[in-house]
Amino acid sequence: MNATGKVLRLAAMGAAAGVLVAGIALPAVGGAGVGLVSAVEDVGLEPRDLAEPPLAQVSVVQDVKGHEIARFYEQYREVVPLDHIADIMKTAIISIEDYRFYEHGPIDIEGTVRALAKNLQSGGVAQGGSSITQQYVKQVLLNAAQTEEEKNKALAPSYARKLNELRYAMGVEEKYSKDEILEKYLNIAYFGAGAYGVEAAAKRFFGVSASELTLSQAATLAGAVQDPNATDPNLGKTSRDRLLKRRNVVLDRMAELNKITKDQAAEAKKARLGYKGTPLPGGCESSTYPYFCVYVRNEILRNPDFGKTAKQRLAFLNRGGLTIRTTIDPTMQAAADKAIRKWVHPTDNPVAAEALVQPGTGAIKAMAASRPYGTRKSKNQMSYNLVADAAHGGGIGFQAGSTFKTFTLLTALKQGMKINDGFSAGAGYTAPAYSTFKNCAGQSIGDPSHTVTNDEGSPGWLTLQTGTWHSVNTFFMELERRVGLCNVVKTAKSLGIHRSDGDPLKEFETFTLGINEMDPVTVANAYAAIGARGRYCTPMAISRITDSTGKTTDYRPKCRQALDPEVADAAAHVLSGVLTKGTMAAVGGIRRDAAGKTGTNDDSSSAWFAGFTPDLAGAVSLGDPRGTSKYKLNGVTIGGRYYGSVFGASVPGPIWKDTMIGALRGVPPTDFTPVDAGRFGGCGDSCRSLVSVTPPTGDDGPTGGDDTPVTILPN
């Protein structure tokens, strides 16, 4: 039998005997024809069973109580039975893709031979001639591909690939009825705009179910499957114009086949494309907790616990059919959302962001922001994670200001200073020499040309307590000099401090004044370690994952002892005075043991408050995402209130207080461990007899207390 006869015999398998075979002949063409003969003779075309692995499955994200908060997926797909798909949609897809679908066997002889003839004449693969069954096979193989090589093989424009598809097509036609094959095809096909399957496409494109599609809509979707990337309406006008032309081609073909009248085709052509771009369901944009959702997604994509490679982690998340239990607490999240809404409006240019973290576990309990998450600038939405670092979908953050003074305080306590040790601080501080400050590389980075000042006045004698309570810049510059800049940096790093943008920390002499850009999760977690008596835990968002087989993996906190517990207790004792005697005195405490530190940057470019109890820690940032150097917090209206200048205790502090009261309602209070008076009480080498000084304003604004002198005792 010659090559042409073999091709015809193979094409006829599964079809009615002798249909259209006798009258078809192929041209005798060299080159490509020789290749075809070789492929046919080398490979026997017998039906082959097609492995049909489950389609990519949706992963569901839950809060700490098991309520769904988001969905992740590689392919947005909703599988529906054939009787839930409009008849006009079935007609449209069959008309344009395989009009003899219900008449031929696994291979459309006319289409295949016509395509082979064309390809032999052109010397390549110019026409596909694929039946719907063959297209289904191709989609299955493409979806099952795990590597780029496998994907390329599934799409290769070769006769070998085509013959392989034919084998599988023969097996599929033996296994399923035509209706079953059509149903599978319509559920696996990609239509563009991120929509897989006709149900998802109908909702994405037109906001209707597949059962409700009109003639014009059905023709549009039928036209899209040929080249969904080129006609993706989400990509702009050019792609939409292509899709409109394809729709009209489908309508003409339906009329040509007498599936609709010419008048119906003409009327349908008058309709606009009508693309709605309905948001894909289940993603972070539609989540109740969008910023936390973004954090979870990025945590899985970057954490080796969830896969050795980035590709494995992506497949794990988007195809695994996981149930992901997280640490987010609805009650605490609601408290953070409510507090932020009270003090900052979504329409305000400055944006507030807050994170709550559980001391002793690192569990993130809430992530809130004043702006909605999304890509619509007209609605003042933010397209990145305002509450987290860049590794978790965030941006560059805001300078943390005086919240960093806490790391200098901790370093002083670690080195043996007592809470009433102190020294005299002036109105300004200038490094005596370049060698006064050295970074961790041993380089001299003092700046004798720059003077650090306080907002007002010369404070005089201050101790670790009073210098912290009133956040005095010049006091902390001298304290940092005494304990060593690199030692302060090491303390900060031991508590997980890293820049939000992922760059190395800036180790300049003003490190203690918070010149590094930070995010609320990182700062809140560092302060949580103090509340946990020095036990630092990596921020944790995921507590349990159950895969599609029911296998469950629990994820435990990753913790280490970063501080001597007694050092952390002494720091908590000092920082508690910030709420009662210092920069937060006017705002007040939360009716349980609590401590914290305000932070205000130069000229109120941004403002912070970070605080903790033994049960919960939180950090609040406030700044203008358009640029803090240009858009400072002076002469601004925030939350309907006018501020001449915003300090840490003006907006961030009240947000933190209101959040903590609401979040801890019903939670029995845990007391701080009292300071070890024998180790940290009184004063040591830097002691001074009874003296009275007037509390300074500090860099974080008025203290909020009265202006009576503060009595500092030696013990």
pLDDT band, very low/low/confident/very high, at 456 (cuts 50, 70, 90): low
The helix (run of H) or strand (run of E) holding residue 70 is strand 68-72
Please, which pLDDT band fits residue 709 given cuts at 50, 70 and 90? Answer: very low
Q: Could you read off the pLDDT of 262-311 as tens digits, one per residue?
A: 999 999 999 999 999 988 777 788 899 999 999 999 999 999 989 999 88
For residue 485, give the H/E element and its range: helix 485-494
Phi-psi region of 14 (alpha: psi -120 to 50; beta: other; left: phi over 0): left
CA 10, CA 166: separation in Å to the nearest integer? 9
Closest Cα to residue 535, out of 562, 512, 517? 562
DSSP 8-state symbol, 438: B
**Per-chain mean pLDDT for the chain:** 87
Give the right CATH number for 3-55+73-270 from 1.10.10.10, 1.10.3720.10, 1.10.3810.10, 3.30.70.980.
1.10.3810.10
- Give the model confidence (pLDDT) of 459-490 as tens digits: 899 999 999 999 999 999 999 999 999 999 99
Can you name the residues that pair with 634 across neighbouring β-strands? 645
Enter the DSSP assignment of 312: H
**Rounded distance between C-alpha atoms, residue 208 and residue 228, angstroms:** 19
Give me the pLDDT at residue 678, please: 94
Whether the CA torsion 26, 27, 31, 37 is positive or negative: it is positive
| Nearest Cα residue to 598 out of 520, 653, 522, 645 | 653
Half-sphere exposure of 309 (CA within 13 A, CB side): 3
What's the CA gap between 485 and 464, in Å, rounded?
17
Which residues is 290 bridged to in the sheet? none
Contacts with 662 (C-beta within 8 Å, 6 or more apart), sequence order:
331, 334, 335, 338, 339
Of 117, 123, 122, 129, the closest CA to residue 27 belongs to 117
Q: Report how far residue 59's alpha carbon sits from residue 73's, in angstroms, rounded to the nearest whole number.
A: 6
pLDDT at site 704: 39
CB atoms within 10 A of CB 229: 10
Report whether 532 contacts 614 (CB < 8 A): yes
Q: How confident is the model at residue 181 (pLDDT cuts 50, 70, 90)?
A: very high
pLDDT tens-digit series, residues 313-344: 888 888 778 999 999 999 999 999 999 999 99
| Residue 71: φ, ψ to 5° | -135, 140
Alpha-carbon dihedral sign for residues 583, 584, 586, 591: negative
**Which tokens in the block code for residue 455?**
């907002």
What single letter denotes the amino acid at residue 131? S
Q: Which tokens hold the place of 397?
A: 């953050």
Phi/psi region, residue 83 (left: phi>0; alpha: psi -120 to 50; beta: rest), is alpha
DSSP output for 17-43:
TTTTTTT------STHHHHHHHHHHHS
Note the pLDDT of residue 696. Answer: 53
pTM here is 0.73
Q: Read off the pLDDT band of 255 (50, 70, 90).
A: very high
Domain residue ranges of the chain, discontinuous segments joined by +: 3-55+73-270
